[in-house]
Amino acid sequence: MKLRPSLAVLLLFLAAAAVTSAAQQAQDPAVRPVCVFFLRHAETAASTETNRDPALSEIGGKRAAALARMLGSSGVTQLYASEYQRTQQTLAPLAAKTGLEVEVISARDATAQLDALRQLAPGSVAVVAGHSNTIPALVSGLGEPAQGLVDGSLAHDSYDRMFLVVVPGVDGAEARTLELGYGR
């Protein structure tokens, strides 16, 4: 089976993280890293300029399904979305596949979102669906800054960018950020 480059990189990155911490985990499971996937909601059926809370379009639904296929067997433990239906609908197929409920945290409260992520148990795998103007700050708040931004936001027509932040469970170790693509 031929893997797409972004999936292959993700698998290599996760394998490297697992191998790196395997010796530490054998001694203390509390040092397992926390992995957080950040992504913008999928495509909407209407513009957010004319409709504050549009649903996903057919293409957006397909992207949400692709996300569920990609992360559905990855051990996801938490799902977070904003109060807008487009973020919740983006995570709905993944929630159905994992049996998890989507926790809603206001898009206007980055502090609450970051606090929730910083309190995750070692070994947790979270997925956060946000917005073009919220995801970069969340990525930077937990890991390394996102690159390729337009005035501090993801490009308005960019729906396929995903960021994986791995927060080591070892004091003093720095979080790492990897950018991926999905649902192309």
Question: Predicted confidence band at 99 (pLDDT cuts at 50, 70, 90)?
Answer: very high
Q: Is the pLDDT of residue 172 over 90?
A: no
Q: Is the pLDDT of residue 93 over 80?
A: yes
Q: Is the pLDDT of residue 124 over 60?
A: yes
Q: Report the pLDDT value the prediction gives residue 7, as an integer from 0 to 100.
A: 62
Average pLDDT over residues 13-27: 50
Phi then psi for 171, rounded to 5 degrees? -55, 135
| More confident: 156 or 64 | 64
3-state secondary structure of 107: coil
Question: Predicted confidence band at 23 (pLDDT cuts at 50, 70, 90)?
Answer: very low
pLDDT in tens, 129-159: 999 999 999 999 999 999 999 999 999 999 9
Q: Phi/psi zone of residue 61: left (φ > 0), alpha (ψ -120 to 50 degrees), beta?
A: alpha
CA–chain centroid gap for 33, Å, is 15
Q: Find the domain containing 25 and state its range.
A: 5-181
Q: Report the pLDDT value the prediction gives residue 5, as an integer from 0 to 100.
A: 55
Question: Predicted confidence band at 9 (pLDDT cuts at 50, 70, 90)?
Answer: low
Q: Report the pLDDT value the prediction gives residue 151, as an integer from 0 to 100.
A: 93
Q: What is the number of structural domains in the chain?
A: 1
What is the residue-averaged pLDDT of the chain? 89
Length of the chain: 184
Q: Is the pLDDT of residue 14 over 70?
A: no
CATH at residue 148? 3.40.50.1240
3-state secondary structure of 180: strand
How many Cβ atoms from other residues are within 10 Å of residue 132's Cβ?
20
pLDDT in tens, 71-85: 999 999 999 999 999
Instruction: Give CA–CA dist 79/81, Å, rounded.
Output: 7
Q: Is the pLDDT of residue 30 over 90?
A: no
Which tokens is 112 given?
């609450």
